């Protein structure tokens, strides 16, 4: 049976493989599913860090703020 998901072959250090095996057993799921789940969580953490950095760059004492209503009045 074919799958619509893209496969990715990676080489893992022995300790990482062991941790994934143990987590997969604990969560009663295949190792590949657990690895994909962990990668997705890591990407979400990276995304959060990126947007936090962008937000920090935008925050300044000279920043001019407008109300929610004024913003949407201009947009619409």
Q: Where are the domains of the chain?
A: 29-57
Q: How many helices (H) and strands (E) does the chain have?
A: 3, 0
**What was the pLDDT predicted at 75?**
84
Structure tokens at 27: 């969560």
Tens-level pLDDT at each residue, the chain (76 residues): 678 888 899 999 999 999 999 999 999 999 999 999 999 999 999 999 999 998 888 787 777 788 999 989 988 7
* Cβ neighbourhood burial of 34 (10 Å; 0-12, 13-18, 19+): buried
Cα→Cα distances 11→57, 61, 70, Å: 37, 48, 53
pTM assigned to the model:
0.70
């Amino acid at each position: 049976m074919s799958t619509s998901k893209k496969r990715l072959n990676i080489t893992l250090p022995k300790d990482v493989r062991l941790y994934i095996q143990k987590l997969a057993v604990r969560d009663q799921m295949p190792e590949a599913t657990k690895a994909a789940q962990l990668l997705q969580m890591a990407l979400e953490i990276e995304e959060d860090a990126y947007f936090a950095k962008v937000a920090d760059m935008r925050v300044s004492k000279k920043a001019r703020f407008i109300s929610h209503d004024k913003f949407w009045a201009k947009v619409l």
